[in-house]
Structures are given as C-alpha cells and as structure tokens.
Amino acid sequence: MEIHIAADAEAGARTVADVVEQTLRETGELGTVLGLATGDSPVPAYTELIRRHREEGLSFAGSRAFLLDEYVGLPAGHDQSYHRFIREQLTSHVDIDDAAVLSPDGAAADPVAEAAAYDRRIGEAGGVDLQILGIGSNGHIAFNEPGSSLVSRTRVVALTPRTIEDNSRYFESPDEVPVRALTQGLGTILEARRIVLTASGEGKAAAVARLVEGSVSARWPATILQMHPEVLVVVDEAAASQLELADYYRYARDLEVEHAVAGQRV
C-alpha cells in the first residue's frame, strides 16, 4: 500500500484527482473504465476533477464508469439514489457520456439476477482501471458489511444498523433508509487494476487503522485491500490518528518526494 497522510482536505483531494487524471491520460483513446464511489469522502476530489475539466481541459471523453452500489428499492431518479448522487457530484459536470455511467438497478424486479448481470457487465467492459473507494466507519467498502466473504461477487446484502444510522443523514429519518443494497463484492472490487481509497475525520480512524495495519478478516472487510498490489490510501490527520506507524508512512512519503520515485510502497 501507499499511505498518504494529507495536510488538509484540499491536498488529499488533489492527490486523488492526480491519480484519476494520470489514469485518464494513460488509457487515452482506449477509454478509461472508472469505478466510482458515492458518499461524502470522494466529493472534494470530484469537485477538483470538475475544476480541471473546466479550467484545464481534462477530458473524460470515451470513458465509462461503474458505480459500486445502489440501495434496493430506490428507482434511479430518487433523490437519494446513488445513480443520481454521482451525476450531481461529478458525471453531469464533465464530458462523460451519461449512458456510459452505469450502476446496479435498485428498482430491478429481480435484484439477485440484476446483481449477477451487473458483475458480468463489468467484466465485459474489460474490468475497472481505477476504483475510487471510501470506507464505512465499520470498515465496509461499497456495501460489503462486516462478515462479507472476502471473495464475494456483486450481490444483494442487508445493511447493518450502524450503516443505516451513518447514512440516515441523507434521509428525513433513519426509517426511510433502505435496509438492503446491491453492492459489488470484495472479489469484484479486488479485480480493479488500481484502487484509491480516501477517508477523513475521526469517525473513520478505527476503520483506517484496521484497513492498513489490522489482520485481514471479514470482521473489517476493507482489510482485504492489503491483498491488492496497487492501493493508495489518502487520509487526513484525523482519519490517520489511530495508525501506529503514521510516522513511518510520513517518512516514506517524504523520501518518495525527495527521491522523486513514484509509487513507493510500504
């Protein structure tokens, strides 16, 4: 893993945006397949990408995007659907074809079949070049709650009371939060060629400490990312506050900058 403890939210957002920009430029005319996350964590990076598109001509033309997850029971147009969230926060503001921004259909008559079909669609697109991730306070990624199989595929899951509580801020009341979701599995996410996870705030500190330094376990699903060779973790000081080896990560990062070696890993 590469661990980047950012000085502030803007610096963290720039680091995430840099990786997206680099991936877009590398894949060029082949068209990048982006894996997009919802939630508050990646929003500053999305805002920075929109700025680069408007002011610096960064282009998403020819790219496709797959969302990580969607609530079961929310139609695409619902105010709180992730389908809508990603359009409001990123894709409608850049030059990506709207039809190329895919998410699981939360209103599908057969959510189990929809999950399998969505997993297949990702494979048919050639897989994800760059997956952006946030992390839940209980260590979930996408909606892979504690107890998820570490090789799970896209499927229907029951949300934990903690996730429902965490996500209720977007709804009028916790009662309105859907109790099930369609989510890419941990095995699906792990097939992305590169992964950038971003987190901020004290509420994420325990999950970030497990993610980077804990034992790989279904108890903290994000720990499976330790088994992926190309993961960048971008956190602020508060989210990094329970990392035992934070000083080492800072030292390694400074050394990387000093020696201009891109992609040094711990």
In whole angstroms, the minimum distance from the beta carbon of 55 to ligand GLP comes to 26
Which residue do the tokens 């993610």 mark?
211
Task: Give the distance, in angstroms, between the CA of residue 94 and the centroid of all CA atoms in the same chain.
Answer: 19
Closest CA to 46 of 66, 17, 6: 17
Q: Any contact of residue 132 with ligand GLP (CB under 6 A)?
A: no
Active-site choice (48, 114, 140, 144): 140
Q: Which two tokens stand for residue 204?
A: 């994420």
Of the residues 142, 157, 190, 243, which one makes contact with ligand GLP according to CB under 6 A? 142
Task: Please confirm, yes or no, whether 167 is among the known catalytic residues.
Answer: no
In whole angstroms, the minimum distance from the beta carbon of 261 to ligand GLP comes to 30
Of the residues 68, 122, 189, 235, which one makes contact with ligand GLP according to CB under 6 A? 68
Instruction: Work out the number of other CB atoms within 10 angstroms of the CB of residue 123.
Output: 11
Question: Which three-class secondary structure state does DSSP give residue 192?
Answer: coil
Task: Please confirm, yes or no, whether 140 is among the known catalytic residues.
Answer: yes
By beta-carbon proximity to ligand GLP, the closer residue of 165 and 247 is 165
CA quadruple 220, 263, 126, 26: dihedral sign: positive
Closest CA to 90 of 143, 144, 136, 52: 52
Q: Any contact of residue 134 with ligand GLP (CB under 6 A)?
A: yes
Of the residues 33, 58, 135, 240, which one makes contact with ligand GLP according to CB under 6 A? 135
Query: How far is 131 from 194, CA to CA, in rounded Å?
Result: 6
Task: Please confirm, yes or no, whether 93 is among the known catalytic residues.
Answer: no
Q: Any contact of residue 225 with ligand GLP (CB under 6 A)?
A: no
Which residues contact ligand GLP (rule: CB under 6 A)?
37-41, 68-69, 134-136, 142-143, 163, 167
Which residue numbers are catalytic? Answer: 69, 138, 140, 145
